[in-house]
Structure formats: structure tokens, C-alpha cells
């Protein structure tokens, strides 16, 4: 069977493409406006044409012809238009946010390439945005382009990712008689979950949940990062560091494949005051364990039931909180379970399921942003395998088995 091909729009640092690559797709082209993100993508996806122009200025027809493709030849268009305007955590969610209309640019490429399948990823808040009108418009637009489209909300730990992250996934198959729901992957792990967003659309529950009680449990934080080198507060060390231990589980073995050592693993230097705060926080604890005189002034009068993730020290046997664009303990549970410091970029990348061979460019601040904004590759790989099966291709044997 021929190799599956894809392009990625709003590609970021390449988490979605990485997972799809592991599912047998070859990236031909990626568009990413942010230069450092595009640089990271290019460094990790050789052979893919990386375009850092504003997508509004890109002629989709010219791109298709430059890739030597006729309409209908491409297997998959994938991507995640900027989601801040849709996020349930955003301070203002408005249809006037110009980022929202970037969906139209994505659909313009779909119309030009006419791929066999389409994958759009976004935040769960997309479902409730404008009372579902935006989601309905996307699905209707895909239908008008002769695609059968469906939506589900997937939970990353169900697919081996050691982090409580939810993503809205829209899948569309060319031909209105196709069953797009069949293209979604089934959960392969059990994991604790809490739904704090709209989970129903068009009268049905769209959250994918495990159907078998015999599935293995989730990948824990310790299983994910326990083999990485110990670091002191502010320690930089050599660019490439040796592993702390031999791999102790399948997740570690899989993510270490092809890696010559640990990159992007440097500890940010935190103040003496923060280190004093950390000394009072046990595993599973948070800011409420800190003596009031050591708390930031703005938090001293806060209710103890509020901000429960702030200054959180994770439990090694649990799941990580959603990895954000910075691992600042003041904003989330990002304190290492046994070391008095915040997560490094590499630890955040492990919790996102990036392989260790994946290197992030730019400043440390930019690297955290790239990791936090990415789609977890293991989640993307699960979706990619399912799409590949539906497209009738014999996918290449996957490198990861988690």
C-alpha cells in the first residue's frame, strides 16, 4: 500500500505531526506563523516544507501544485487553528476575536486539496462557544464541501499521556455517506477524570469513555519522568545529560527510542523565598500548606478552597495537571514530586508524550510555550492510527507501544 501523506496547518512546534508520523503519515507541508515554532518543526521534521507566512497570504492552489498533487490525492489535512478565543478559561470569548475566523482559512485549504480525511483539534470550549454555533458552522461547512464530519472530546490519559488534558477532535471523511464516528480511536487506558465543560452536542454525549473494565490503568507521573536526571534549583549542566536510570517501563523505553541523551533539561532558578515555600509542601499538597507569612500578599486572604493547583506538588503515582505555556508554580501544580524545583522543559515534554529525540529551539521561555501549546503526540498517534485504518492503508509498524 502507498504511503499516507498529510499537511499540517497552524502546526506549532509539531506535536500533532509527530503523532501522525508515528501512525504512518508523512508530512509534506506545514504552515506556522511563529518563527521559533516553525524552527522547531523544521528541526524535527526533515523533508517537510515549512512555511512561516501568514496563512491568509498563502495561495492554497500554488502550494498544492508545488507539492505535485492533484485534487483528491492528499490523504489528510490536519491542524489546530488558534484556540484562545474559544477556551473556557479565556477572559473573553467573542465571535469578534479575529483568531476565530482562521477556521475559514483552514477550510479554504480543504476546498483546494480535497483530501480524503480532515482532522481539526481544539479546546473543549469550542463546543459551548456561541452556544455551539461555531461548531455547527464548521460541521456544516465541511458537509457543504462533501465531507461527513463528527466531533468527539478525547481525554489524553486514555491514550497513554500522563496528563489531564482534553481535546475536541473534529474528524471528516470525504463523501457524505461515510461514517466519521468510526474514525475515532477507542480508549486504551483507564484514568480518573473530571468533566468541567459542556460535553453534549446535538443531543448526545460526545466525550469518549472506556467501554471495558479490563483496560490497563493510566501512565503515572513517576512512570513518565522518573528516569530523568536529578537537578538542583537553577542547575543548567551539560547540554546533553545521561539518563538517571535504565528505562523501567514501556513508556520510558518508547520515548527514549533514538535518543542519545536528555536535551532541554535545565532547572529554572527560583528565589530563596519560593524554596522556603516549597519546603512546606508535601506530595499532593498546595499553597494551603505554606505558612501564611510566606505566602504572596495577594494570596493571604484567599479562601483555602480556591486556587487549589497553585504551588501544587504533584503525587508521583498520579496524573500531571494540564501542561501550560509556562511551568510557574504560582499558577499551577508544577513542583517536582521529590525535587524542590519546577518542571523542566524536557519533563513537561515527557508529560506531553514527546519523544526525547524531539528538540525544542529558542529561549527557555519559548520552549515552554511550544510544549504547552502542543497536541500530545501519543493522542495524535491514536487518532492517526484510527484514520489510517479507515482509509484502508496498512500503516507502518508503530515505534511506540504504550
Asked about 61 being catalytic, the answer comes back as no
Given 83, 268, 270, 349, the catalytic residue: 83
CA nearest neighbour of 135 among 145, 147, 123, 146: 123
Around Cβ 180, how many Cβ atoms within 10 Å?
Answer: 22
Helix (H, G, I), strand (E, B) or coil at 76: strand
In this structure, the strands spanning 200-201 and 147-155 are unpaired
Q: What is the DSSP letter of 333?
A: S
DSSP class per residue in 9-38: ES-TTSHHHHHHHHTTEEEEEEE--SHHHH
Per-residue CA distances from 96 to 41, 81, 124, 129 (Å): 30, 15, 19, 12
Angle of helix 133-144 versus helix 102-113 axis, rounded to 10: 20
Q: Is the dihedral of CA 205, 208, 211, 216 positive or negative?
A: negative
325 CB burial (10 A radius; 0-12, 13-18, 19+):
middle
Whether residue 240 contacts residue 260, with contact meaning beta carbons closer than 8 Å, is answered with yes
Whether residue 327 contacts residue 346, with contact meaning beta carbons closer than 8 Å, is answered with no
Secondary structure of 122-191 in HEC code, one letter for each residue: ECHHHCCHHHHHHHHHHHHHHHHCCEEEEEEEEEHHHHCCCECCEEEEEEEEECCCCCHHHHCCCCCCEC
Which residues are known to be catalytic?
Answer: 83
Amino acid at each position: 500500500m502507498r504511503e499516507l501523506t498529510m499537511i499540517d496547518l497552524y502546526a506549532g512546534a509539531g506535536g500533532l505531526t509527530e503523532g501522525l508520523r508515528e501512525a504512518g503519515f508523512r508530512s509534506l507541508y506545514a504552515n506556522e506563523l511563529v518563527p521559533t515554532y516553525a524552527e522547531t518543526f523544521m528541526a524535527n521534521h526533515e523533508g517537510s516544507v515549512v512555511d512561516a507566512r501568514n496563512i491568509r497570504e498563502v495561495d492554497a492552489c500554488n502550494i498544492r501544485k508545488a507539492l505535485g498533487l492533484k485534487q483528491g490525492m492528499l490523504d489528510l489535512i490536519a491542524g489546530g487553528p488558534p484556540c484562545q478565543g474559544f477556551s473556557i478559561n479565556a477572559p473573553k470569548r467573542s465571535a469578534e476575536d479575529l483568531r476565530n475566523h482562521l477556521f475559514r482559512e483552514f477550510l479554504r485549504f480543504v476546498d483546494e486539496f480535497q483530501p480524503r480525511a480532515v482532522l481539526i483539534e481544539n479546546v473543549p470550549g469550542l463546543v459551548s462557544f456561541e452556544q455551539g454555533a461555531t461548531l455547527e458552522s464548521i460541521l456544516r461547512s465541511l458537509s457543504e464541501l462533501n465531507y461527513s464530519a463528527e466531533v468527539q472530546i478525547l481525554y489524553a490519559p486514555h491514550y497513554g499521556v500522563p496528563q489531564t488534558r482534553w481535546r475536541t477532535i473534529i474528524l471528516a471523511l470525504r463523501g457524505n455517506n461515510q461514517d466519521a464516528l468510526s474514525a475515532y480511536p477507542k480508549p486504551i487506558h483507564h484514568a480518573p477524570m473530571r468533566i468541567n465543560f459542556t460535553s453534549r452536542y446535538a443531543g448526545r454525549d460526545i466525550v469518549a469513555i472506556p467501554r471495558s473494565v479490563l483496560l490497563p490503568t493510566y501512565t503515572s507521573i513517576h512512570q513518565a519522568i522518573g528516569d530523568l536526571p536529578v537537578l538542583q534549583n537553577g542547575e543548567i549542566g551539560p547540554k546533553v545529560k545521561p539518563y538517571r536510570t535504565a528505562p523501567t517501563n514501556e513508556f520510558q523505553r518508547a520515548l527514549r527510542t533514538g535518543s542519545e541523551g536528555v536535551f532541554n533539561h535545565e532547572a529554572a532558578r527560583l528565589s530563596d523565598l519560593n524554596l522556603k515555600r516549597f519546603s512546606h509542601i508535601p506530595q499532593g499538597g498546595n499553597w494551603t500548606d505554606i505558612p501564611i507569612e510566606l505566602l504572596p500578599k495577594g494570596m493571604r486572604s484567599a479562601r483555602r478552597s480556591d486556587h487549589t493547583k497553585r504551588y501544587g506538588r504533584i503525587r508521583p503515582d498520579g496524573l500531571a495537571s494540564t501542561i501550560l505555556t509556562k511551568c510557574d508554580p504560582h499558577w499551577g501544580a508544577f513542583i517536582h514530586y521529590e525535587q524542590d524545583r519546577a518542571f523542566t522543559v524536557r519533563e513537561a515534554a515527557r508529560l506531553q508524550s514527546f519523544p526525547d529525540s524531539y528538540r525544542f529551539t529558542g529561549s527557555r521561555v519559548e520552549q515552554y510555550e511550544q510544549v504547552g501549546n502542543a497536541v500530545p503526540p501519543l493522542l495524535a498517534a491514536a487518532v492517526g492510527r484510527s484514520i489510517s485504518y479507515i482509509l484502508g492503508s496498512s500503516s507502518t509498524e508503530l515505534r511506540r507501544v504504550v
